[in-house]
Each structure stands twice: as structure tokens, then as C-alpha cells.
A = this chain, B = another copy of it.
Amino acid sequence: MPASFGNRIRVTLFGQSHSAAMGAVIDGLPAGFPIDTQGLAAFMARRAPGGTYSTKRREADAVEFLSGLVESASAPGGTDGTGLVTCGAPVAFLIRNTDARSQDYAKLKDIPRPSHADFAAYLKYHGYNDIRGGGQFSGRLTAPLCAAGYLCKCLLKQKGVTIVSHIASVGGVCDTPLDPMALDPSYAARLADPFPVLDEDARAKMQETILAAARSGDSVGGTIEVGVYGFPAGHGGPFFGGIEGTISQALFAIPAVKGVEFGAGFGFAGMHGSEANDPYTIDASGEPRPASNRCGGILGGISSGLPILFRAAFKPTPSIIKEQQSVSLSRRTPEPLVVGGRHDPCIVPRAAVVCEAAAALALMNTEDETIE
């Protein structure tokens, strides 16, 4: 079913860009798990609109819990009795849509935006689709995905797993890749930024690329790289239970993702086995492990014990101000289109945290070790 993901931690999303609210139900969280509401707000802020490089729509995106929690003195912020822990019931929350300007979308009901989901939704739902703000296909729906993914990220954190992300490229400008062998202690500070990059020169060039696109009424695409450090070896599985497939399914739920690759990814296509293979070594603790990580931490769908590394490709925002060729669905005639409304010239910076959330959700749903 489209709205649900996972058989261990199942997230079910709901909402449209301009519905009363959007949100999610999360089933399977362990009871007694403390909710770090401040950490959640900080995580959501990394995705929130409002920065220089994003849409002018401004919403607090406050997560309002409806069920699944009880008060507990042991939870963060809980000294005054306001700390919250899970009680074993499904956790449901909503995020209100407060800054919707639906009138911007009247024209688009008849004249669809090129390369936007509006057209396919019109075909699928026979015109009943909610056109306002892109309906359920809006990037706004990544807000409940982030909130749900944050809880998964916290569960993983408890097990010693750290997930980081950065803008790997915007237009043709590339950042330094993440360290494939170990978590760099400087990442925590450097990648908490709303425009997360490792190379300051790349940052400046990427930002200029985005501003140039915005100035010409255009948009620009890019890639996000995610690194998962500390994930235990031996999770995942063969066939349809592989970690690559599970992460991919979660990533393609993010609007605008059109490609996913693990480790060397498409680069493998040009390699020989002798270049591609990761030899084994005995590490300092006497354990066998790969000595390099071109495989992105996954062998046969199973975690190898090395960091899990992947990249997702984002197409440029389809909503651009430049005039484009469209059609009138009612009159069956060509119509030029200039898109109004408030749109991101580049959604890639805000997408980094969404990719982390998707990865966390996916990894909480990979198979554990199965030995008794």
C-alpha cells in the first residue's frame, strides 16, 4: 500500500500540501522509548522552508502528538513531568498546514506543470486529485517522513549507529565525499548546517549556482550522499530482503529522486574486478573486515560491518518561472505556462535530512541476524 512502509517499524503517512493537516502513524516502536522533542524540532528545522535557497512559504512544522505517548519523569525535559515516552500503542502525530495559499493553484488544475506529478495524478485519479500545492505529491509530505525517520534515527543511535548526510553535488559542483571507512568526528558540527557540505569552496560555488538559477527563473538538480556509521554486520538478506532494495524503496518515496547508487554505484560499470573488489584484512581487534569500501558497506544485500554509503539523484524542481509549453486539459489545446506560487530553486539542501530519515526508516526494517 502506498502510504505504508515497514514490517518492523511501520510508518503510515497521510496528508496533502493544503489539507487540514499531514502526519503519520508509527507502529512497532518499543515501549518506554523517550521522545527527545528538542532534538526532533532541530531535525525538522533542517528540512523547514525559509532559508535563502528555498521557498518563501514559512511554516513552523511543529509535530503535535495525538497518541502513543505517556508522561514520564525519566524522559528528556521530564524533570517537570513533561517528558514523554512511548507506551507501546501506535504513535500518531500531525503537522498543521498553516500557510497554504490555495488560490495560486487554480490555473494548474487545467494547465499542468511540465514534469510535475500533477499530470500523472490527473490521469490516475480522473481529475479528483487535490491540485492545491501538489496535493499528496508535494515535497511538504517529507515533513512527516522526517519526523517518523527521526524516531528511527534515535532508535539506531541507541545501538551506536550514526547517520550523516551532505550535498554531494549541485548542478555540476561536487563536495568532498564522506569518509568510506570511519566516522569523521568533525562531521557532527560541520554537517548540522542547513546547507551541509564538507568543502567550503564547493559551498560557495553551489550557492552561486542556485542563486544564478533563481535569478533566471530556473531551478537546478543535485545529489545527496548519506553515510551510516556503526551499523552492525550481518543485517539485511538475499533476494528482496537486501539493504539496497529496502533503502531504495524508502528513498524513491521522496519526490524528485530519480536514481540511487551504493558505494561506487554506476562507477562499477566501468571497472575491472581487480579494481572494484575490496580485499580483506585483519583489523586492529583481530577481526576480519574489508580493507576498502567500494561496495558501500553491503555485500549480497547484507551489511559488511563497514559504513553504508549511498547517493540519491534529485531532478531540478519542475516549478520554474520561465515560460514553458503545456496544454489545457479541458480544451485539449497547447498553452504556454508561467508558474506562480512559491517554489524552491533547488530542493537539494533541504533534502539531505529527508534522505537521513528515509535511511533510518529503512534500516530499522532490515532483517536482524537470525541465529538463535
Q: Any chain B CB within 8 A of the CB of A180?
A: no
Q: Which residue of B lies closest to A72 (CB)?
A: B128
Q: Are B299 and A119 in contact (CB under 8 A)?
A: yes
Given known contacts A92-B15, A136-B239, A300-B117, A271 and B124 CB-to-CB distance under 8 angstroms: no
**Distance, CA A106 to CA B220, complexed state (A):** 53
Name the distance in Å between A218's Cβ and chain B's nearest Cβ.
Answer: 5
Q: Any chain B CB within 8 A of the CB of A82?
A: no
List CB contacts (< 8 Å) of A54-88 with chain B.
65-70, 72, 85-88
**Distance, CA A278 to CA B115, complexed state (A):** 5
**Distance, CA A248 to CA B316, complexed state (A):** 21
Contact of A90 among B13, B91, B255, B260 (CB under 8 A): B13
Chain B neighbourhood of A176, CB < 8 A? none
Q: Are B261 and A259 in contact (CB under 8 A)?
A: yes
A interface, over-half SS: mixed
**Distance, CA A6 to CA B238, complexed state (A):** 16
Q: Are B288 and A237 in contact (CB under 8 A)?
A: no
Contacts A5-B240, A14-B66, A114-B279 given; 6 further ones with Cβ under 8 A? A19-B69, A120-B300, A137-B238, A155-B372, A259-B259, A271-B315
Q: Any chain B CB within 8 A of the CB of A21?
A: yes
Contact of A237 among B2, B65, B303 (CB under 8 A): B2
Contact of A269 among B23, B221, B233, B288 (CB under 8 A): B221
Q: Are B248 and A242 in contact (CB under 8 A)?
A: no
Chain B neighbourhood of A303, CB < 8 A? 120
